[in-house]
Amino acid sequence: MLDAVFNPRRIALVGASERPGTMGRLLWDNLRTFPGEVVPVSRSTAIDGVRAYADLSDVPGPIDLAVIGVPAERVLAAVRAAATAGVRAAVVLTAGFAETGEPGAALQAEVVAAARAGSMRLVGPNCFGVQNCDLPLNASIAPSAPPAGPDGGISLVTQSGSYGMAVHALGLDEGMRLAKVYAAGNKAEITDAEVLAYLRADPATRVVCLLLESITGGAEFFAEARRTAAVKPVLVTLTGRSAAGQRAALSHTAALASDDRLRAGALAQAGVARAASGQQMLDAARLLAVQPRPGGPRVGIVTNSGGLGVELTDLLYDVGLAVPQLSASLQADLQELLPEYGSPRNPVDMTPIWSRYTELYPELTDRLARSGEVDVVIPIVLARAGSPEVVRGLIAVSEALRRDGIGVPVAACWVAARSFQEAADELQHGGVPVLPWPERAAAAVGLAVGCSAALGERAADPPRPAERQPPGRRDLADPEQVRQLLVAAGIPCAASEPADSPDAAVLAADRLGYPVVAKVVHAELSHKSDVGGVRVGLADAVAVRAAAASLLALRPGARVLLQEQRSGVEVVVGGLRDPAFGPAVMVGLGGVLVEVLDDVAFALAPVTPAYAETLLRSLRGAAVLDGVRGAPPVDVPALAAVVVAVGELMLADPGLAELDLNPVLAGPDGATAVDWRLAATQEP
């Protein structure tokens, strides 16, 4: 049904007007380029000589898309009329709905109900509009649609109307090639997942860019993002990072699972590349839309300035890319072209030899791209190098590389005066992205490389375990019952025994074998270490008896848990049930210091063993897993198996809201949970 939004044959403009300065006039003018029929619905009898109708129900024949620009109080009647008339889709640009508070939210709900009653899809309300640059269709408040690319281009999905306008300006100013612009506004009816699925199948969309303030239908969005990122680049900018609050819950897992962390983890897991800003996202998209996808992280630089070459090298390193020293044979080949005082090492520095720029820029770029030693070539076009002759040479090289099947992209780092802007525009229109200054160039190329690495590499989701209903009665505050549940789920847990007196504690320790650990058990003491509720290294009965007496005195009704003592790297593994995304897992380093170290990562369940290892390796302190200061390396596959099992348990048992294994002690011979806590979704 989204084809009616992007590829309508006949449009009705509700609120069309001849009066200058009105939305109805702006939309009428914007729709003039639409190749099909536009029918005005207006209080006037005609708009610019075209017959107008007082109501959509009066319009003869089928309408694919209704563009609604009337005041908020008239939108409900317009949507009802459109749905009754069998209109397939509507774009509501008007504000004054859920974004304004409860009365607006109630009105929005009525509008959605009216649309659904007629099986009509609804874009918005409170949105910038929709553009299809190839048709062309400009059902938006922008004065014109951005330029389309001859072989497709970027499709932008945005919640922000101002970003839609900014993209329009950028498209004109910097020669961006766009396919579609979709402003979701309040996202009242069409989901993010549906738009992604449509753009995945759209042949004109080469790159998908998402500017999101929220994600609707998290689980469905994740599934569609995963499928889309496997076949074409998907980049996202998420706003509202600072406003995302942490969940208030008992476990470490929920306390750290801010909306932004979980969204970031889900997007990375799906293969979506996350940009730090909208500009960075669009810069990378420009590269991916017109050049081959980078095949790796090796960058070759051509420059006439040693200083800028060094700066770009450092910035590329900061985003995880490499500027490798070239082989001796390639250096010798390049040195034949360079002046005696030039450097062929990489960056390839021709120095400010103005008289030879026209020859050297294209030739050095071509030889680097064909060498097999780099995956991307960035010529730094500085000062006089921004001449029409150099630009045309670079365009010719780019075209020759494509003809010869050389899949190494070329992107220009442009550092030239405004007087050279016409040449920059020619280079951009010629298919070589122009990225101003080293910082923007490095950020864009880094993001493009990361995005390309995900293409086609998303493994199939592991099979989801069959959902099981929890037993009618279980006490998740009982550490032994929880231990049995975890062991049954395949999670290794340290042997333990509860006791309610010092004498019982000694007997339990005798059975477990010394040394042992003693822990307080009480519903009010979820963080035992904070109250001195953990005693380790108890080597004999005397120590156990004293520790048990002290722990039992911490709270009336307390018990003590005796446990075999283990050692290893402290890791936290958790599970949570997010209202938008569903079951998720968390891994982190630090045990009781996990909040202080703040070194955690999230993914949606289920996870494969390979992705669980990827998650562990993504931690800043992951080096400790390989052994530091003489410590042996950790059995990472065994630790990953715990992460997999936690995800499967969260999926299989809908009665679990949170699961916290903290710490899991990981060593060379396996990984064992030594403390655990679960929370139910509802009272048993």
Are residue 530 and residue 672 in the same domain, yes or no?
no
Residue 488 lies in a domain: no
Q: How confident is the model at residue 467 (pLDDT cuts 50, 70, 90)?
A: low
Distance of CA 495 to the CA centre of its chain: 41
**Looking at residues 477-502, what average pLDDT do you find?**
91
Does residue 461 surpass a pLDDT of 70? no
Q: How confident is the model at residue 254 (pLDDT cuts 50, 70, 90)?
A: very low
Q: What pLDDT score does 246 carry? A: 35
Lowest mean pLDDT among 87-101, 230-244, 285-299: 230-244
Q: What pLDDT score does 250 carry? A: 29
Q: What pLDDT score does 572 carry? A: 95
Q: How confident is the model at residue 252 (pLDDT cuts 50, 70, 90)?
A: very low
Side-chain-side CA neighbours of 208 within 13 Å: the count stands at 31
Q: Which DSSP category does 150 fall into?
A: B
Are residue 308 and residue 450 in the same domain, yes or no?
yes
Give the CATH number for residue 664. 3.30.470.20
Side-chain-side CA neighbours of 39 within 13 Å: the count stands at 22
Are residue 285 and residue 296 in the same domain, yes or no?
no
Are residue 587 and residue 554 in the same domain, yes or no?
no
- Burial of 144 by CB count in 10 Å (0-12 exposed, 13-18 middle, 19+ buried)? middle
Beta-carbon contacts of 50 under 8 Å, excluding residues fewer than 6 positions away, are 38, 39, 40
- Decide if 127 contacts 161 (C-beta within 8 A): yes
Q: What pLDDT score does 209 carry? A: 95
Nearest to 233 by CA among 451, 550, 14: 451
Here the tokens at position 543 are: 């120590």
Long-range contacts of 140-143 (CB under 8 A, 24+ apart): 140/30, 140/93, 140/164, 140/181, 140/183, 141/23, 141/26, 141/27, 141/30, 141/93, 141/165, 142/30, 142/168, 143/26, 143/30, 143/168
Residue 468 lies in a domain: no
Query: 3-state DSSP call for residue 679?
Result: strand
**Looking at residues 301-319, what average pLDDT do you find?**
96
Give the CATH number for residue 280. 3.40.50.261
Here the tokens at position 353 are: 């030899």
Last residue of a domain, one of 526, 541, 564: 564
**Looking at residues 627-644, what average pLDDT do you find?**
91
Residue 31 lies in a domain: yes
Are residue 262 and residue 141 in the same domain, yes or no?
yes
Residue 376 lies in a domain: yes
Query: 3-state DSSP call for residue 386?
Result: coil
- Decide if 390 contacts 358 (C-beta within 8 A): yes
For residue range 578-605, list pLDDT tens digits in order: 988 999 999 999 776 777 778 899 999 9
- From the CB of residue 363, how many other CB atoms can be counted at a distance below 10 Å? 17
Are residue 521 and residue 442 in the same domain, yes or no?
no
Are residue 343 and residue 442 in the same domain, yes or no?
yes
- Decide if 675 contacts 663 (C-beta within 8 A): yes
Last residue of a domain, one of 258, 290, 322: 290
Residue 476 lies in a domain: no
Strands 656-667 and 670-673, sheet pairing: antiparallel
Q: What pLDDT score does 244 carry? A: 38
**Looking at residues 388-396, what average pLDDT do you find?**
97
Which residues make beta-bridge pairs with 435?
Answer: 413
Q: How confident is the model at residue 459 (pLDDT cuts 50, 70, 90)?
A: very low
- From the CB of residue 227, how many other CB atoms can be counted at a distance below 10 Å? 17
Nearest to 190 by CA among 33, 1, 329: 1
For residue range 36-89, list pLDDT tens digits in order: 999 999 999 999 999 999 999 999 999 999 999 999 999 999 999 999 999 999
Are residue 423 and residue 545 in the same domain, yes or no?
no
Are residue 356 and residue 421 in the same domain, yes or no?
yes
Q: What pLDDT score does 457 carry? A: 56
Residue 172 lies in a domain: yes
Residue 506 lies in a domain: yes
295-317 CB burial, b ≥16 within 10 A, e <16: eebbbbbbbbbeebbbbbbebbe
Tell me the C-alpha distance between 467 and 114, whole Å.
Answer: 36
Are residue 114 and residue 157 in the same domain, yes or no?
no
Residue 375 lies in a domain: yes
Please state the domain count of the chain: 5
For residue range 608-624, list pLDDT tens digits in order: 999 999 999 999 999 99
- Decide if 526 contacts 677 (C-beta within 8 A): yes
Q: What pLDDT score does 595 carry? A: 73
Higher pLDDT, 641 or 254: 641
Higher pLDDT, 443 or 682: 443
Are residue 65 and residue 81 in the same domain, yes or no?
yes
Its domain, for residue 216, covers 127-290
Which residues make beta-bridge pairs with 299?
Answer: 376
Q: pTM, whole model, 2 decimals?
A: 0.88
Q: Which residue has the tokens 């007082």?
A: 54
Give the CATH number for residue 50. 3.40.50.720
Does residue 468 surpass a pLDDT of 70? no
Beta-carbon contacts of 572 under 8 Å, excluding residues fewer than 6 positions away, are 252, 253, 586, 587, 588, 589, 590, 591, 594, 600, 660, 661, 662, 663, 664
For residue range 235-249, list pLDDT tens digits in order: 999 876 654 333 332
DSSP 440-495: HHHHHHHHHHHHHHHTT--PPPPPPPPP-PPPS---TT-HHHHHHHHHHTT--B--
Q: How confident is the model at residue 323 (pLDDT cuts 50, 70, 90)?
A: very high
Q: Whole-number mean pLDDT of the chain?
A: 90
Are residue 520 and residue 577 in the same domain, yes or no?
no
Which amino acid appears at position 207 of this protein? V
Here the tokens at position 153 are: 């281009």
**Looking at residues 4-33, what average pLDDT do you find?**
95
Q: What pLDDT score does 144 carry? A: 78
CA distances to 36, 106, 123, 168, 385 from 89, in Å: 16, 21, 8, 24, 51
Q: How confident is the model at residue 27 (pLDDT cuts 50, 70, 90)?
A: very high
**Looking at residues 659-666, what average pLDDT do you find?**
93
Here the tokens at position 200 are: 């995945």
Last residue of a domain, one of 564, 590, 618: 564
DSSP 179-242: EEEEE-TT--SS-HHHHHHHHHH-TTEEEEEEEES--SSHHHHHHHHHHHHTTS-EEEEE--TT
Torsion of CA 325, 331, 334, 340, to 10 degrees: 100
**Looking at residues 553-559, what average pLDDT do you find?**
91
